[in-house]
Amino acid sequence: MPGADPSSADPTVSIIVTVWKDPRVARTLDSLLAQTRPPDEILVDDGGGNDVVRQITTEYTAKDARVRHVDAPGNIPESRNVALGVARGELVAFLDADEVAPPGWLEALLRPFHDPRVGFTGGPTPGLPGTATTIGAQYYDGYLRRFYDTVARANVHALPMGNSAWRLRLFREVGLLDTTLFRRAASEDQDIAVRALAAGWRGVYVPEAWVHHDFTGLSTRTLLRKQRVYAEGGFVVWRRRGTTYEASATRVAPYVLAPFLLVVGGVLAILPPTRLGGELILLGGALLLGALAVFLTAQGIAENRTYPGLKWRVLEIPRRWATLYGAFRGWLHYGWSGRAGKP
């Protein structure tokens, strides 16, 4: 707990850069050292794996003593908790190694903290120009831009931790990041935000506090795998905290009904007595899936000018299926309560 008043006019700020074997952290550090509101310290939160990050950090520390290497092996919440334990700032900002901050980022992200009721803030993460080269990456870029405008703006607990700022005091009051959630993608950012809001803190979405997100190497396949992993952790948070920000019965139903009809129809079509009924159900499922694809494509094309990449919105179908599959795996691993089994 810092000695100074956490709601003072000019609080000290630590930036925690979460990284795992990613040399792009050098570009992130360059952007942080060019901030109009200079940070008081920059902690390179090294999740381990090899010595690349340590070597890069050592070079930057030699040029600027504010940059410090933090040896913090483990998954994301475990690693970030180590960094929180050594952070000296009254406020802590989080950035990932695949993100690049414009010069005014930190100043904008910290502005709402003049209100002592604000416990955390967050901003959007549009794609770094020239890196969204695959269809999956282009869609994800458009999806995220729309997500921040329409979902995160109204549900601040949905703000990812990569590009956020928090009062260090908040972690002392409500606890550190939960390390008992799903190990690969714990949804610890959503969980801590829900706990902070329940404790009476305010969260603020700051649209002008954007950072560029490098989508190099993101394919449709990796996007769906990432979504499945996020959903497994998200299921656990939903069952433990009773909250979500995107899923609802109405939104999920169209994506469940079509494959359900296709599976039932396929099974019934195998046996001669039920073949005709099965074929009709198969046809109904195919028509429903086709109608959903046409609807999403038309909607995406209409929104593509505002959110470039949404012309591929038909990918929302496999993305939702990956989400449901991840939630199902979460149920299998952690039970309906979200607390069964081991992390």
Q: Distance between CA 147 and CA 246 in Å, rounded?
A: 10
Asked if residue 234 lies in contact with residue 327, where contact means CB atoms within 8 angstroms, the answer is yes
Mean pLDDT of the chain: 93
Domain with CATH 3.90.550.10 in the chain: 13-123+159-215
Q: Distance between CA 226 and CA 228 in Å, rounded?
A: 5
> 2 pLDDT exceeds 50?
no
CA-based max dimension of the chain: 79
> 61 pLDDT exceeds 50?
yes
**Per-residue model confidence as pLDDT tens digits over 92-116:** 999 999 999 999 999 999 999 999 9
Q: What is the length of the chain?
A: 343
Three-point CA angle 14, 109, 304, nearest 5°: 130
pTM passes above 0.85: yes
CATH code at 13-123+159-215: 3.90.550.10
Three-point CA angle 200, 206, 207, nearest 5°: 145
Does an H or E element contain 68, and which? strand 67-71
Residue 117: count other Cβ atoms within 10 Å of its Cβ.
11
Q: Distance between CA 134 and CA 298 in Å, rounded?
A: 20
In the three-class reduction of DSSP (H, G, I as helix; E, B as strand; rest coil), residue 99 is classed as strand
Which amino acid, residue 179?
A: T
**Per-residue model confidence as pLDDT tens digits over 192-220:** 999 999 999 999 999 999 999 999 999 99
Alpha-helical regions (H) of the chain? 25-32, 52-63, 76-86, 105-110, 135-147, 168-174, 188-198, 220-241, 249-268, 275-303, 316-334
- Of residues 251 and 324, the one with the higher pLDDT is 324
Q: What is the percent of the chain with per-residue pLDDT over 90, rounded to a whole number?
A: 85
